Each structure stands twice: as C-alpha cells, then as structure tokens.
Structure 1
Amino acid sequence: MLQELFTPSVQHVLDLVGIFVFAISGALLAVRKNFDVFGIAVLAEVTALGGGLFRDMVIGAVPPAAFTDLGYFSTPLLAALLVFFLHPEVERIQVAVNVFDAAGLGLFCVAGTTKAYEYGLGLTSSAALGLATAVGGGVLRDVLANEVPSLLRWDRDLYAVPAIVGATMVVLCIRYDALSPFTSGLAAVTAFVLRLLAMRYHWRAPRAWHRRSTATESETP
C-alpha cells in the first residue's frame, strides 16, 4: 500500500509540504481579494485541509487527522503568516508554487484513493474520494472567495483530470492486485507530470459540442 512507499516520518513530511503549498494558494487568493488577516488564515486552512476533511468524514475516519495532528492544523497558519507579510515575494515565485501544488495534487489523489479503499469503499467510490481529496480544498477556497471553482472553468488549465487519472490508476492496480509502492508512486508521478504538461501547454477540457454560447475568456468571471 501507499504507506509502504516511505517511512511514517517521511510520509508525514510529504503531507505537510503538500498542505503548506495548498495553503499558500489559498492565502494568495485571499490577498488578491483584499481579505483581512483572519480571512487569509481561513482560506489557507480550508484550501489545505478541506479535501482531506471531506474524505475522512465520508469514510468515518474520525476525528480527522487535521484535528489529531497539530502539524496539520498549524502548517496552513504558517503559510498564511508568510503570505501576509511577504506576499509580493511569494507572488514572484508563483511558478515554483505551482510545481509544488502539482506534486501535492499527485500525492493526495493517490493517498486519498488508497485510504478510502482501506476503509471499505468500492473502487469507484475510492477513486471519487481520491479526486475529492486532491481538489476539494481548492473548490471550497473558490466558493468562499465568491468565484466559480477553477476546476469548473473552461479557461483554466486541466487540474481535475490529472487527479482523476492518478486515482484511476490506483483503483485499477487494486482491481488487478498490482498495487505496490512502485505502482502507487507511478500513479502519483503520472498525475504530477500531467498537471505540469497542462500548465506548460495550456491543455483544457473541451466545451459542449456545437455550443451556441458566445462567452469569451475575458467575459468569464
């Protein structure tokens, strides 16, 4: 299983890195929306922990890890403070932040799928919760910021699709009894690389066939 990929301490560090980067994206959006320090902290926490909290509540893993491990809760606050004081500098390294965000996406879609299956869910449900783990925090972030969630917007590079691919690879490996540290890592790397390619080449999901809408990217809120 995924837990065998790394020692518990290394896995914990990777989780915290993913949480930190997701929190940075939430805090940056809060700054762009002119939120106060409390709003910045809330958006950082929601973005970093929202997907995992949703997954844990659905599968009955209570209390969720975010409430039993102080590091999970305090890491987004650290990211919020960093952005509060240094947001111009953080904005300048947005490309690096996006790369780490893509890595978090790959790790969390695989970890979420595996954990859901270990708690007794079927393959399809496990993949769905893997996706929710990876993108749920971003959806909540955008909703709280009064924006259309990024993964629903046609003018955004693919985000959910790489997570879907990673989660699907995991459940296929489970189905054919091929889940191992190597295949789990391969699924995470595949999602990571797909996200990087989507950002590099601006891959986007197709819109409705023969649609009649005349909306343009500039008209999208």
Structure 2
Amino acid sequence: MNTIQGLFDYYAHNGGYVWEQFYRHFLMSAYGVIFAAIVAIPFGIIIARYRRLSTWVISLANIIQTIPALAMLSVLMLVMGLGTNTVVLSLFLYSLLPILKNTYTGIVNVDQFLLESGKAMGMTKFQILRMVELPLSLSVIMAGLRNALVVAIGIATIGTFVGAGGLGDIIVRGTNVTNGSSIILAGAIPTALMAVAADFLMGWLERILSPVKKKKEVKLEMKEAA
C-alpha cells in the first residue's frame, strides 16, 4: 500500500519530468527503428533478388543481435561519447535483423502466379515491386517493424548509463535510494505501457495491411494497368 501511495505521490510531484523522459524515451526508440527501416528494407529487397547474399547478410545481422546491449553501448560510447546518439545507433543496429528478415521473407513468399502475370502484362521490375511485391509483403514488413519497436523500447531503458536520459533514469534513481520501489515503478510502468501501446498500434496496422485484402487490391490494379 505504501508503494502504491508513493507511486501516486511521485507522479503528483514529478509528472512533468516523467512526461519529458517518456517523450525522450519514445523518440530514441522510434528514431532507431526508423533509421533501421530506411537501411534494412532496401537490403531485404536486394537479398530477395540475389538470394545467395541472404545467408551472409542475415547472418551478419544475427551476430549483431547476439551482442549484449550493455556491451554494445559501452563500445559505441568509446567511439561516439555519451548522449542520445549512442543509444539511437545501438537501437538502429538491434532493429536491423527483424526488419531485414521480415522484408526478405515477405518479398520471397509473394505468389509467383501474380509475378508471372505482371511480367506477362509487360510490367517492369520496378512496377512489379511497387504494385505487387511491396503491397503483398507489407503486413510481414510491419510485423518486423512491430517487433523491432517493442524490443527497442525495452533496450532504450539502459540508455541512462550513457547519459541519454529516458525512463531508465527514473528506474535507476529508484535503485539508488532506500525503499525506492515506488520510484522504480514510476519508470517501469510507463515503459511497459509504451511497449504495449506500440505493439497494439503496430498489430492493428499489420491487420489492416493483411495480404488477403491486398491481393484483391493488387489484382484490381493489375487489371487497370492492363
């Protein structure tokens, strides 16, 4: 009961600070995933075209994923110093694998009949990519972005150790004081809520972009193009 009361008291006295760190935490996570998407989606398309490269590229992303987050931050801190840029780069590296893998999987699993139909209609490779492959693989790519964002939100909490701020600051502050469980919860609860909200929103977008709906739209576009 004292912990719950302490939690509400902390929010009442430090609400502005919590929101500031919440916003900072979200921006670090979002930027890391966005930058990763800018790099990983084109690479996923490329390795779907040249499948011999897929094993090497995905293996490299797997190796990056196995590096412990704190070790990654420590190494990057030696190069880039303290601050948010170090955390964003770390989140960028951790987000590459799920986005890359899902992009590759989505493109490779597009129905070959639709691809052959597009070629028979005289569509260029770029038109097939834009009008057939990407729309049909979009839900799979979104699933990769969803996983990357949820993981990034969790990893961003240790950004506090390199002076990046975020909700990890509040959690660590709670561990440094006696009976600081209410302060720990004050940082942990918004982090969990952010991850759940991101997962729900991205899952909703993933359902909207489901291949069943997209197949009908793609076939309609192909008829119009013909």
TM-score tier (shorter): 0.3 to 0.5
Higher relative contact order (CA 8 A, sep 6+): 2
Question: Which structure is larger by alpha-carbon Rg, 1 or 2?
Answer: 2
TM-score by length of 1: 0.33
Q: Is the helix fraction higher in 1 or 2? A: 2
